[in-house]
Amino acid sequence: MSEPGDLVAPSDPRDLVVVGAGPAGLAAAATALDGGLRVVLVDAGAAPGGQFWRHPPPHAQGTIPTADLHHGLRTYRALRATLSAHERTGRLTLLLNHHVWTTAREEDGFTVHAVDRGRAPEERAVVLRAPALLVATGAYDRQLPFPGWDLPGVLTVGGLQSLLKGGGVVAGRRVVLGGTGPFLLPVAAALAARGAEVVAVCEAAAPSAWLRHPVPLLRNPAKWAEAARYAGTLARHRVPVRTRTAIVGAEGEEEKAGRVAVVRTASLDADGCPLPGTERRIEADTVGVGWGFVPQLDLLLPLGCELADAGDGTMAAAVDDGQRTTVPGLYTAGETCGVGGAALAVSEGRVAAVSVLTDLPAPGRPNARRTAAERRAVARHRSFARAMAQAHPLPPAWPTWLTDDTPVCRCEEVTAGAVRSARADAAASDHRQVKQLTRAGMGWCQGRMCGPAVHCLVSARDQPYAPAERLIATPVTLGALADSGESTSDHT
Ligand SMILES: Cc1cc2nc3c(=O)[nH]c(=O)nc-3n(C[C@H](O)[C@H](O)[C@H](O)COP(=O)(O)OP(=O)(O)OC[C@H]3O[C@@H](n4cnc5c(N)ncnc54)[C@H](O)[C@@H]3O)c2cc1C
């Protein structure tokens, strides 16, 4: 339990709070600091880097080698060096292990409420204030349920990658990966390079879909070089990539506490229906599934930030060409604005920081030529992201893979049958109504896992998913909540 005396709030004034130290947040903080601003950079993780540059916690970094799993480390190291230099001069306060649970708009800026979990299980309340707030909280894995997806040994592909990068852990011996999108390739390559037998990579889309987007392809040759590297690794390790194929079921083994033992895959028709006679049974002890990502909007929605269609079945934060949201003083960059990879996140972070420098009475002036180049980079990467979304859609008929007893919301144990009944009997047409009728999305994860799937099961096909607004982004102890109230009155 924390004591009110533990409350922390940087006493000297700050110009900008950046939440999220992934590629977008690191780049934004570095640019803002170079421009003369005083910045607080907050991240829930134990080390900066976000998902793309996830590293083991500082005490383990010397003992768990992960450099071979990374790309773009030169950029990461340059950003870290910039931040370290500013930390030494006192212009940067870097708060790791700090989870922001809510934010509020004040007359003169924003209040950011976080809990310091650096000395878990203790939690300390931390309250920060600044005239400008930049949210760079990234995205999380999008999941589509299938019979057996709740068995031990079935993970998200992002989860498999996090275990590798964050702890050097290879989560299985015989692994099958499935879903859609280029992210399947680095995960398969990393697992194979670290000794796992990757038995199959099941990509639901057809690669020929990319041929409909020649311009973004030609404008982003680096992406193809990267894909070719992964293809080389997969070929060396004899990993088969099966296109127009999906994981449609998994079965557990009683002797192994129900852990997954068999994966069922099938070829798909153009709509995503399994083709009769194509089902295969593959022995595996681990399954990784990923259907793209969902922007993490928890901190933006309660502030009133408007959303826009990201083009991949999700809604993302609406921003102008300077990464300004529709709320004055609130900026966002990276995958909160739509999923597009780390290079896009870095460019958006820089552009967002330039806008903060322009909008605040900042001591430094942004370099106009560099800003224009960064905006061009954002446009180029965004066009690639749009092409990626179109080439890797969710198979429209995936709900046909589900039996009525397939769990959809694992926290509250709500089945596909119950969700279908909510639609058929009570005319539920979005995940909020289904939540009221069935409790789907009401559990610990607050719909992060099941929300997109419930949405697809009941909503019109072309309607993108927007998560429900939550005032509290992470569970916090009552003690931290109480401390937070005292801290607010102490520092206003
Ligand atoms: C699990 C996972 C693994 C991924 N691995 C890869 C990979 O290996 N290669 C690849 O190309 N792409 C990967 N991606 C895609 C990836 O998200 C990016 O392309 C890139 O990291 C996006 O950068 P970003 O800065 O927008 O967000 P992120 O890198 O996601 O950074 C967001 C940061 O915000 C922090 N954060 C979020 N909410 C809060 C909060 N409330 N309070 C405090 N801090 C918060 C997080 O801890 C995180 O450090 C992964 C995605 C996921 C979800």
Residue 373 makes CB contacts below 8 A (sequence gap 6+) with none
491 CA from centroid of ligand 1 (Å): 31
486 CA from centroid of ligand 1 (Å): 32
Is the shortest distance between the CB of 43 and ligand 1 below 6 Å? yes
d(CA 322, CA 374): 10
pLDDT exceeds cutoff 50 at 66: yes
Residue 12's CB is within 10 A of a number of other CB atoms, namely 8
d(CA 23, CA 262): 37
Is the shortest distance between the CB of 45 and ligand 1 below 6 Å? yes
Model-wide pTM > 0.75: yes
Contact predicate 71/44, CB 8 Å: no
Helix axis angle for 184-193 and 221-236, nearest 10°, is 40
138 CA from centroid of ligand 1 (Å): 5
Q: Which residue has the higher pLDDT, 165 or 491?
A: 165
> pLDDT tier at 425 (50, 70, 90 boundaries)?
confident
> pLDDT tier at 2 (50, 70, 90 boundaries)?
very low
52 CA from centroid of ligand 1 (Å): 6
Mean pLDDT of 153-179: 96
pLDDT exceeds cutoff 70 at 1: no
Contact predicate 352/332, CB 8 Å: yes
Can you read off the two tokens belonging to residue 232? 């080389």
Instruction: Give the residue whose CA is nearest to atom 8 of ligand 1.
Output: 52
Mean pLDDT of 138-143: 97
Per-residue pLDDT of 449-490, as tens digits, reads: 999 999 999 998 789 999 989 888 988 888 888 877 655 433
Is the shortest distance between the CB of 452 and ligand 1 below 6 Å? no
Mean pLDDT of 381-396: 95
Our mutation pick for probing the ligand 1 site, out of 17, 31, 52, counting the most ligand atoms within 8 A of Cβ, is: 52
50 CA from centroid of ligand 1 (Å): 4
d(CA 338, CA 166): 24
Instruction: Give the residue whose CA is nearest to atom 12 of ligand 1.
Output: 52
Mean pLDDT of 303-330: 97
Residue 116 is predicted with a pLDDT of 94
Is the shortest distance between the CB of 378 and ligand 1 below 6 Å? no
163 CA from centroid of ligand 1 (Å): 14
Residue 119 is predicted with a pLDDT of 83
pLDDT exceeds cutoff 80 at 192: yes
Residue 485 is predicted with a pLDDT of 66
Answer left, alpha or beta for residue 278, where phi above 0 means left and psi between -120 and 50 means alpha.
alpha
Total residue length of the chain = 492
Per-residue pLDDT of 232-286, as tens digits, reads: 999 999 999 999 999 999 999 888 888 999 999 999 999 999 999 999 999 999 9
DSSP bridge partners of 111? 104, 129
Residue 186 makes CB contacts below 8 A (sequence gap 6+) with 71, 161, 230
Is the shortest distance between the CB of 335 and ligand 1 below 6 Å? yes
260 CA from centroid of ligand 1 (Å): 28
Residue 474 is predicted with a pLDDT of 86
The residue among 148, 100, 119, 69 whose CA lies nearest residue 300 is: 100
Residue 6 is predicted with a pLDDT of 37
Per-residue pLDDT of 89-121, as tens digits, reads: 999 999 999 999 999 999 999 999 999 998 877
Residue 486 is predicted with a pLDDT of 59
370 CA from centroid of ligand 1 (Å): 25
- Average pLDDT across the chain, whole number: 92
69 CA from centroid of ligand 1 (Å): 16
Residue 490 is predicted with a pLDDT of 35
Can you read off the two tokens belonging to residue 382? 């965004």
Instruction: Give the residue whose CA is nearest to atom 53 of ligand 1.
Output: 140
Per-residue pLDDT of 74-89, as tens digits, reads: 999 999 999 999 999 9
Mean pLDDT of 130-134: 97
Percent of the chain with pLDDT over 70: 96
Is the shortest distance between the CB of 25 and ligand 1 below 6 Å? yes
Is the shortest distance between the CB of 345 and ligand 1 below 6 Å? yes
DSSP bridge partners of 260? 252
Residue 397 is predicted with a pLDDT of 94
pLDDT exceeds cutoff 70 at 3: no
For the CA of 24, the nearest atom of ligand 1:
25
Mean pLDDT of 344-350: 98
pLDDT exceeds cutoff 60 at 65: yes
Mapped onto helix, strand or coil, the DSSP state of residue 100 is strand
